[in-house]
Chain A
Amino acid sequence: MEGLRFRAPNPIDRLPMGRLATGHHHGGAVAVVGRPGRRDRSKNVGARAMVSVTFEPRSVNPRKSKLGARLTPEAPAPRPWVRPVALLLVGLGLGATVGVTLTAETLGELKAPGGIAIFLGGLTGLVGMYLALVMVLLISRIPAVERVLGLDGLVRWHRGLAPWPISLLVAHAVIITIGYAQSARAGVWHEFGTLVTGFPFMLIATVGLGFMVMAAVISIRAIRSRLRRETWWVIHLSMYLALALSFAHVIALGPSFVGHPLTRWVWSVAWASTAGVVLVYRIGLPIFRSLRHGLRVVQVKKEAPGVTTVICSGRNVERLAVSGGQFFSWRFLVPGMWWQAHPYSMSALPRPPYLRLTVKNVGDHSAAVAKLRPGVRVAIEGPYGAFTRHAQRHTTAVLIAAGIGITALRALLEDLPSSAQPVVIIRASREEDLCFRSEVTELVKQRRGKLHELVGPRHQVLLDRRSLPQLVPDLLTRDVYVCGPDGFVADVVRLVGRLGVPEEAIHHEAFSL
């Protein structure tokens, strides 16, 4: 019965890997056809040279229990204390923000006409700005935090928090105008004009709020899904402008800052440091890494229908610290593509001087990747992602992938120790969609794991609460890594959760950022 369900594409299914001879043992790590890369790089690496690089798994020395030593350093391990410390700091900042707002107020001011509205307006404004600061820090990819949460975790937090600062700041503008109108015994619209034209920095702050609302509106899911990613991104960048425009009026008019040099100083330093963090980690570090490695495309090849592999070559790749399962944001420096960076997983650990990424053609950008020519310069941001072996809570693991999710899984597998005895489950609609079949087979075999390829239409080949425990009887003592399209990941995460795998042992990464 089950045999029918899980169509075995080849005899390896459900067989212990150790028994198979696959014939994929290469003596060395990389087979290069044509001129060797190392000498060649001074002369514009691979500009038009015919280079064929293979990333077949490195052979294992049978006398050593350890798998082949890494050719590049591993990305630093996440520090578990970072999360509680970061949350504590966020809480401290929030408390201090509310504190300086409360203490700037006197009872008399509250009792004056419009006093309550003006106080509430000040409170919503300052808390809103503080949360905006946290939002900027979240998305600035501070490495210590990113390693713990992963870039997709940062984005998830950023998205979850977003409605708060936006609504607080809009409320601030409305409430404070009402408060001033009450205080001056004027109409709200008239008072709005007075506030914008009469108070210092209020005009630019109002313009800033306009930008902020615009950027927020286009981020609403229903609207964002109708925009091109690039359009959204460019408009969303105006948030930075909006915050910069709002800064001055806070310092010049905020009751917590007027006549309080200390709070003024602290607030300014907090924002200046945040700006510095953004500049360093979102601009400085990527530029530094890109220049340091000077990557260029050396080969573009079709991996499967609609799936393209790009191999890049660069300097100092042996010093690029990256873990299996991580990804970079790639920027191909050719007309029409140079201004946008897209996140694509590495589909293997680096083989200095080579890096490999594999892309599924789902949009304009990924389709254009298939047409890249050798010699194109490549800039990188990253590596990002917490979908690495560091996330493991148990010794053993099960890896589940569908579609293009195989890329990250393939690289992660390479990083797993043999003690992980990985059970790998790969889901595909058609046999030709299975990528890196021989590589995965070999990697699983080296680690004495098991490989299950589930090929067929989704409604025929089920991965459900009956079949999964049969494939992985010791599911509850393993870490579960899931990678693939969003819907698939959500389904599997729900499934293994229901089967009793604790949340901290389930690791997944959203593909659509």
Chain B
Amino acid sequence: MKRFPIVLAGAVSALAAVVGLHSRTAAGHAISVGPANAGSANGSAGTTQATSPPTTNPSPSTTNPSPSTTNPSPSTTNPPPPTTAPATAVARTSTGPVEQYGYGELSVRVTVTGNKITHLAVPTLQTAEQYSQQLAAQVIPMLTSEVLKAQSINIYGISGATYTAEAYVTSLQSALKNLHFS
């Protein structure tokens, strides 16, 4: 054990080197790590956000898991909108409850314009670790485009991300129910 200091010296210097290298290149890595709020297909703010904030902060929207927090718009619901449909249709937004899905939790915010789902976002996405984070970041845009295409929650699941897809659909379903979207 006389030579233990050699091991220790090696360990400390390598540790310092890795941490130093990391902090120098941290900025570069951050972008690659993941668009956590990679919600909308419409290219919302998701991509420009840095890594840490999205996974972590129980962002304001998580505090209102109940469907009651839908936008003020519900009162204005006029189910039979006149012929002016596309131009005058009111955009209504609702956020579904935060769904636990084993590897994390997410909620879906949906915007319906007239009779059309026009925008989807994931205001809450919190995962336990990097792998699930990356997986969700990959899967959510796919789910979003599927829903926008199908204009309903009847979409094909994504193999390898069954739980994520289920949570996404469940949260979306509640949000759409709030808007009385059929």
Name A residues whose Cβ lies closer than 8 Å to a Cβ of B.
Answer: 83-84, 87-96, 98-100, 102-104, 106-109, 111-112, 114-115, 118, 122, 179-180, 183-186, 191, 194, 198-200, 252-253, 255, 258-260
Residues from chain B with a CB closer than 8 A to the CB of A93 are 10, 14
Closest residue to A87 on the B side, CB-wise?
B6
Residues from chain B with a CB closer than 8 A to the CB of A180 are 103, 128
List 9 extra interface pairs beyond A95-B13, A98-B15, CB under 8 A. A91-B7, A94-B10, A95-B15, A96-B17, A100-B18, A118-B128, A198-B163, A253-B129, A260-B29
Residues from chain A with a CB closer than 8 A to the CB of B103 are 180, 183-184, 194, 198-199
27 pairs from A and B in contact (CB 8 Å cutoff):
A84-B6, A87-B3, A87-B7, A88-B6, A88-B9, A88-B10, A89-B10, A90-B7, A91-B10, A91-B14, A92-B13, A95-B11, A95-B18, A98-B15, A99-B16, A99-B22, A100-B18, A103-B19, A109-B129, A114-B128, A180-B103, A183-B103, A183-B128, A184-B128, A255-B129, A258-B130, A259-B29
Name B residues whose Cβ lies closer than 8 Å to a Cβ of A.
Answer: 3, 6-19, 22-23, 29, 32-34, 51-53, 55-57, 100-104, 126-131, 134, 160, 163
Residues from chain A with a CB closer than 8 A to the CB of B9 are 88, 91
The verdict on A109 contacting B100 (CB below 8 Å), with A104-B130, A184-B128 known, is: no
Closest residue to B3 on the A side, CB-wise?
A87
Chain A facing B: main interface SS: helix
Residues from chain A with a CB closer than 8 A to the CB of B131 are 199, 252-253, 255, 258
Q: Separation in Å of the B53 CB from the closest CB of chain A?
A: 7
Q: Separation in Å of the A88 CB from the closest CB of chain B?
A: 4
Residues from chain B with a CB closer than 8 A to the CB of A184 are 100-104, 128
Residues from chain B with a CB closer than 8 A to the CB of A199 are 103, 131
Residues from chain B with a CB closer than 8 A to the CB of A102 are 15, 18-19
Closest residue to A101 on the B side, CB-wise?
B18
The answer to whether A179 touches B128, judged by C-beta atoms less than 8 angstroms apart, is yes
The answer to whether A98 touches B130, judged by C-beta atoms less than 8 angstroms apart, is no
Residues from chain A with a CB closer than 8 A to the CB of B22 are 99, 103
The answer to whether A98 touches B128, judged by C-beta atoms less than 8 angstroms apart, is no
The answer to whether A88 touches B17, judged by C-beta atoms less than 8 angstroms apart, is no
Closest residue to B53 on the A side, CB-wise?
A108
Residues from chain A with a CB closer than 8 A to the CB of B6 are 84, 87-88, 91
What are the 8 closest A-B residue pairs judged by CB atoms, nearest first? A91-B10, A108-B56, A99-B18, A95-B14, A95-B11, A103-B22, A95-B15, A91-B7
Number of A-B pairs, beta carbon distance below 8 Å? 129
The answer to whether A96 touches B7, judged by C-beta atoms less than 8 angstroms apart, is no
**A38→B134 CA distance, assembly (Å):** 69
Partner of B34, one of A186, A252, A259: A259
The answer to whether A92 touches B3, judged by C-beta atoms less than 8 angstroms apart, is no
Closest residue to B126 on the A side, CB-wise?
A112
**A200→B161 CA distance, assembly (Å):** 11
Residues from chain B with a CB closer than 8 A to the CB of A104 are 130
Residues from chain A with a CB closer than 8 A to the CB of B3 are 83-84, 87
The answer to whether B129 touches A118, judged by C-beta atoms less than 8 angstroms apart, is yes
Residues from chain A with a CB closer than 8 A to the CB of B52 are 106-109
**A107→B23 CA distance, assembly (Å):** 14
Closest residue to A255 on the B side, CB-wise?
B130
The answer to whether B56 touches A109, judged by C-beta atoms less than 8 angstroms apart, is yes
Closest residue to B160 on the A side, CB-wise?
A200
**A258→B13 CA distance, assembly (Å):** 24
Residues from chain A with a CB closer than 8 A to the CB of B11 are 91-92, 94-95, 98
**A109→B131 CA distance, assembly (Å):** 13
Residues from chain A with a CB closer than 8 A to the CB of B129 are 109, 118, 122, 253, 255
The answer to whether B56 touches A106, judged by C-beta atoms less than 8 angstroms apart, is yes
Residues from chain A with a CB closer than 8 A to the CB of B102 are 184, 186, 191, 194, 198
The answer to whether B130 touches A112, judged by C-beta atoms less than 8 angstroms apart, is no
The answer to whether B10 touches A185, judged by C-beta atoms less than 8 angstroms apart, is no
The verdict on A90 contacting B56 (CB below 8 Å), with A98-B15, A258-B134 known, is: no
Q: Separation in Å of the B69 CB from the closest CB of chain A?
A: 21
**A98→B10 CA distance, assembly (Å):** 12
The verdict on A91 contacting B128 (CB below 8 Å), with A96-B15, A111-B56, A183-B104 known, is: no
Residue picked from B11, B130, B131, most chain A C-beta under 10 Å: B130
**A100→B25 CA distance, assembly (Å):** 13
The verdict on A112 contacting B17 (CB below 8 Å), with A118-B128, A183-B104, A255-B130 known, is: no
Closest residue to B58 on the A side, CB-wise?
A112
Q: Separation in Å of the B4 CB from the closest CB of chain A?
A: 8
Residues from chain A with a CB closer than 8 A to the CB of B17 are 95-96, 99
The verdict on A106 contacting B14 (CB below 8 Å), with A184-B100, A184-B103 known, is: no
